[in-house]
């Protein structure tokens, strides 16, 4: 076979070998952004150039929770002793929004020396690998897990317990862990009751389950808001985005919106504002 006839075949073989070869591992650069998402399948911290968040001044009805988490995060940014935090309670009341807003405020105060890293619930068992990457890194890191909870036969909570407090290495001094959950003890009540009824030592079984949340030094509870607070949220958003409407009319429409949703919360308030802004032709930049 002439030499020039081998060339297309060799190229196809080379292309096939390239596709089969493992992709080179990307090196994490922790100075490329101030927020990242952890991808456990390839140990990759993906930079997030623009974080979706609400300004901290627009979060209403959570003043106490805001002040406590803000002070905790400021201490952490200064290198002082800090607690892990669990934000638990009613849906849509600003738990994850508060974490992101607090990070933005403290990060700005300390000139981008504080990074936010989101880890997905299903990747919690890979948290030790993430911590190994951060342990000797420059800067300080808030690891954030949204909607954290555990179900029956889910053993990932044991890994989290060890990492937060009980492991031989412990939590790195440049890392703090914040989580949000609808459940105070991160587990459904029927799961805890099932342990109580079937275990040889019911008290010990329940204690193991409940001790998960004890690893968080801060418990910040979020509760359904009153109509007054709901209207404060609406007024704050409307003023911020220039949605001109008489207060009485604005409140009446917001109340009707909440009734159709069967709830009053920060999330419902924001959904109403999005609908109203679209109706008025106002962008929410």
pLDDT confidence of residue 150: 74
What percentage of the chain carries pLDDT values higher than 90? 53
Task: Determine which helix (DSSP H) or strand (DSSP E) holds 2, and give its type and residue range.
Answer: none
Q: Once rounded to an integer, what is the mean pLDDT over residues 106-121?
A: 89
Q: Are strands 35-39 and 44-47 parallel, antiparallel or unpaired?
A: antiparallel
In whole angstroms, what is the distance from residue 124 CA to residue 251 CA? 42
What is the overall mean pLDDT for the chain? 84
Q: Which of 170, 106, 178, 164 is nearest to 139 (CA)?
A: 106
Q: Tens digits of per-residue pLDDT, 214-268? A: 778 899 999 999 999 999 999 999 999 999 999 999 999 999 999 999 999 999 9
CB atoms within 10 A of CB 271: 15
Q: Tens digits of per-residue pLDDT, 186-225? A: 665 555 455 445 544 455 444 555 556 777 889 999 999 9
Domain boundaries, the chain: 35-222, 227-280
36 and 83 in contact (C-beta within 8 Å)?
no
Q: Once rounded to an integer, what is the mean pLDDT over residues 165-175?
A: 75
Note the CATH number of domain 35-222: 3.40.50.300
Q: Tens digits of per-residue pLDDT, 63-93? A: 999 999 999 999 999 999 999 999 999 899 9
């Amino acid at each position: 076979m002439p030499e020039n006839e081998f060339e297309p075949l060799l190229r196809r073989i080379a292309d096939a070998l390239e596709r089969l070869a493992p992709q080179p591992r990307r090196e994490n650069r922790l100075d490329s952004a101030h927020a990242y998402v952890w991808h456990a399948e390839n140990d990759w911290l993906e930079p997030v150039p623009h974080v979706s968040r609400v300004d901290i001044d627009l979060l209403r009805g959570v003043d106490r929770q805001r002040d406590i988490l803000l002070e905790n995060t400021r201490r952490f940014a200064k290198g002082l002793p800090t607690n892990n935090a669990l934000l638990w309670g009613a849906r849509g009341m600003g738990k994850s929004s508060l974490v992101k807003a607090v990070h933005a405020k403290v990060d700005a105060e300390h000139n981008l020396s504080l990074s936010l890293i989101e880890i997905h619930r299903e990747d919690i068992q890979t948290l030790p690998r993430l911590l190994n990457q951060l342990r000797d890194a420059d800067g300080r890191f808030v690891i954030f897990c949204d909607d954290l909870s555990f179900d029956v036969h889910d053993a990932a909570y044991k890994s989290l317990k060890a990492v937060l407090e009980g492991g031989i290495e412990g939590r790195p001094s440049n890392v703090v862990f914040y989580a949000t959950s609808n459940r105070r003890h991160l587990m459904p009540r029927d799961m805890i009751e099932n342990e109580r009824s079937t275990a040889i030592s019911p008290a010990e079984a329940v204690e193991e389950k409940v001790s998960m949340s004890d690893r968080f030094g801060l418990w910040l509870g979020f509760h359904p808001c009153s109509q007054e607070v709901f209207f404060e949220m609406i007024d704050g958003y409307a003023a911020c985005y220039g949605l001109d409407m008489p207060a009485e009319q604005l409140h009446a429409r917001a109340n009707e919106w909440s009734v159709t949703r069967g709830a009053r919360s920060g999330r419902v308030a924001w959904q109403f504002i999005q609908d109203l802004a679209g109706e008025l032709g106002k962008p929410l930049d």
